[in-house]
Amino acid sequence: MLHVILLSMVTIGTTVQPTNLTQYDRGPMEISSASIESSNTVTAAANVDLKQIRGRGSDRLFALPIDATGDIVELDPWTGAEINRFPAPEPSLPGPEGLAFNGKSLFYYTSSGSRTLWEIDPDTGAVLDADIVTVGSGDFDGIAAVAGALWLLDYSAIDILQFDPVTDTIVRTLDIDVLNPGVTIVGGICGMTGPDALIATQSPGAVFEIDPSTGLVSNTWPTATGTLLIWGVAAIKGEIWIGTGTGAGSLHRYDRNGALLSVTPLPYNVSALGGDDPDNIPRRLFAIPDDASGDIVELDLESGAELNRFLAPSAPVGGPDGLAFDGNSLFFFADDGSGTLWEIDPNNGAVRDADPVTAGSGFYDGIAAFAGSVWIMDHVLADIHHFDPVSDTVVGTLDIDALNPGITIVGGICGITGPHALIATNTIEVPANVHEIDPGTGLVTNTWAAATGDYIFGAAASNGEVYLGSGDGPGALYRHDRAGVLLSTVNLPYNVSALGADDAGTVPWELPIFADGFESGDTSAWTTVLQ
């Protein structure tokens, strides 16, 4: 059975051994080291499947609930469902508090406590580090993780303090109201990429995008929360989540320009959110080079430089081939007649699992890792088969050309979030058409032309962007935004027959999975495949 990330086990019940709290002399730009003076026993939320926690990378959202527990909770950002819960290292009180997540560690601060900035394990709450912050007012209303630093929102001084986690010191102060007359920030802060920015709130009322290098406000937009206080803000995959501190508990999700995308009810208000965009993104791109080597290579997403190379478990044929990466495992298919879907180690190619796939024509041209499943493009039938890695079976098939007359798919497929979609190409057309497909209905929701006259033999998605690989002509990677605008072209020393870097590989899909393997909602697009 394919062991995908969503099924990896999480250890709970870890206890942190108490140590002594030591505070050093306070200087004007100094933060002294600290450790814990209390024990912290981790408990899991009742009746919650913790197997979804690990490996979700950039799609993790944490909150401080206003429920008198003093806990930190992990929420599904798409549904608001509580995934995990553990005690904060010191009791939280509703009000000025902060959370930030950099993809590895969770950072926590409460203004009602000891002025300690805590670094903790995001799965257990175990304390990894603690530092006393002696600069600023101590009234810190939010933490952001961006550009390898932490940023503390000092709402009393209307400043943002840059904290260096290597030296454990405050290295800069952005005087926001002096740099931007009339601007007040309070409520929350988070970090974003593309470009790098700090997102700070004015509660209630507005959201400010701030350049972390200058402290200048580059964009402002009003929130749709009305008079409700904003006590938390987080960023995931280029979108912004705002949590209410008053009224009925809710999460408000916006695009970067302030358009309201969704409102999700919560059973409680929140005093902080943590889910910073920049440091949580699994930036890995894999390719099958058309160089007769039989290898899989890892490429740098920005430069196209080759980072690693290892032998594929079955010899690629130069197309049709398929690759998909879910943040933990690399999935591989070679159109060699064996019908084998391989799960391999992305660092060395070691085989973790292998399963025969017998659905459709057997001619598969690209795979995607998406919503806890693997999606296989059947280019002969213009179908997409939904493979369940738990049961090792194809549980449904999207008949793309029947659902979308005139649409043909061949060349590559990948998964993307915000909202969730499958991206499939039609390389028969030159330039190739790229189709965005709703995985719940099989309907094409958007189509754009690739900015190349080359045949496309690979598609991948990372951080909301789409990468296409040329299968003929000069080898190249074409990087597009989701609407099809060409962002960059990187030359490669070879053409590619497949790409793998799925944006959505381990992100839980908003629609619940029923026991029979089919998603809730409109299933009219599906045909049952029995094995």
Tokens of 216: 């200048």
Whether residue 153 is found in the same domain as residue 263: yes
Comparing 39 with 472, the larger pLDDT belongs to 472
Beta strands in 79-216 (DSSP E): 82-87, 97-101, 106-110, 116-120, 127-133, 140-146, 149-154, 159-164, 169-175, 189-192, 197-202, 206-210
What values do phi and psi take at 245, rounded to 5?
Answer: -100, -10
Tokens of 26: 């306070």
Whether residue 299 is found in the same domain as residue 416: yes
- The span from the CA of 270 to the CA of 59, in Å, is 19
Whether the CB-CB separation of 189 and 142 falls below 8 Å is answered with yes
Whether residue 74 is found in the same domain as residue 115: yes
**Which residue among 224, 259, 280 closes a domain?**
280
Residue 129's alpha-carbon distances to 21, 149, 370, in angstroms, are: 12, 15, 34
- The sheet that has 71-75: what strands, in order across it? 82-87, 71-75, 61-65, 270-274
**Mean of pLDDT values over 425-449:** 89
Q: What would the pLDDT profile of 333-386 be if each residue is shown by its tens digit? A: 886 667 889 999 989 999 998 988 888 887 788 899 876 788 999 888 999 999
Number of domains making up the chain: 2
Residue 86's alpha-carbon distances to 13, 68, 432, in angstroms, are: 9, 13, 49
Q: What would the pLDDT profile of 278-314 be if each residue is shown by its tens digit? A: 544 456 889 988 888 889 999 988 888 999 999 999 8
SS3 of 403, please?
helix
**Which residue among 280, 295, 310 closes a domain?**
280
Contacts of 41 (CB under 8 A, 6+ apart): 13, 14, 15, 16, 87
Whether residue 220 is found in the same domain as residue 312: no
Q: What would the pLDDT profile of 185-196 be if each residue is shown by its tens digit? A: 999 999 987 678
Q: Residue 39 pLDDT more than 60?
A: no
Comparing 267 with 56, the larger pLDDT belongs to 267
Comparing 254 with 166, the larger pLDDT belongs to 254
Whether residue 275 is found in the same domain as residue 373: no
Whether residue 260 is found in the same domain as residue 325: no
Whether residue 270 is found in the same domain as residue 309: no
Domain assignment present for residue 3? The answer is no
What values do phi and psi take at 176, rounded to 5?
Answer: -65, -45
Residue 253: other Cβ atoms inside 10 A? 19
**Mean of pLDDT values over 230-238:** 88
Domain assignment present for residue 5? The answer is no
Whether residue 451 is found in the same domain as residue 514: yes
Whether residue 150 is found in the same domain as residue 167: yes
Residue 453: other Cβ atoms inside 10 A? 11
Tokens of 429: 């057309």
Burial code (b: 16+ CB inside 10 Å, e: under 16) for 302-314 equals eebebeeebebbb
Q: Residue 519 pLDDT more than 60?
A: no
pTM of the prediction?
A: 0.55
Highest mean pLDDT: which range of 37-41, 63-67, 301-305: 63-67
CATH number at residue 259: 2.120.10.30
Whether the CB-CB separation of 387 and 35 falls below 8 Å is answered with no
Comparing 39 with 372, the larger pLDDT belongs to 372
Domain assignment present for residue 27? The answer is no
Whether residue 393 is found in the same domain as residue 436: yes
Whether residue 435 is found in the same domain as residue 290: yes
Q: CA 114, 119, 123, 126: dihedral to nearest 10 degrees?
A: -60
Of 242, 244, 252, 240, residue with least CA distance to 269: 244
**Which residue among 280, 300, 320 closes a domain?**
280
Tokens of 16: 């942190």
Single-letter amino acid code for the residue at 366: G
Q: Residue 44 pLDDT more than 70?
A: no
Determine the structural domain holding residue 475 and report its residue range.
285-527
SS3 of 177, please?
helix
Domain assignment present for residue 1? The answer is no
Whether residue 385 is found in the same domain as residue 259: no
pLDDT of amino acid 148: 76
pLDDT of amino acid 418: 63
Q: What would the pLDDT profile of 66-113 be if each residue is shown by its tens digit? A: 998 989 999 988 889 999 999 999 987 777 889 999 877 899 999 888
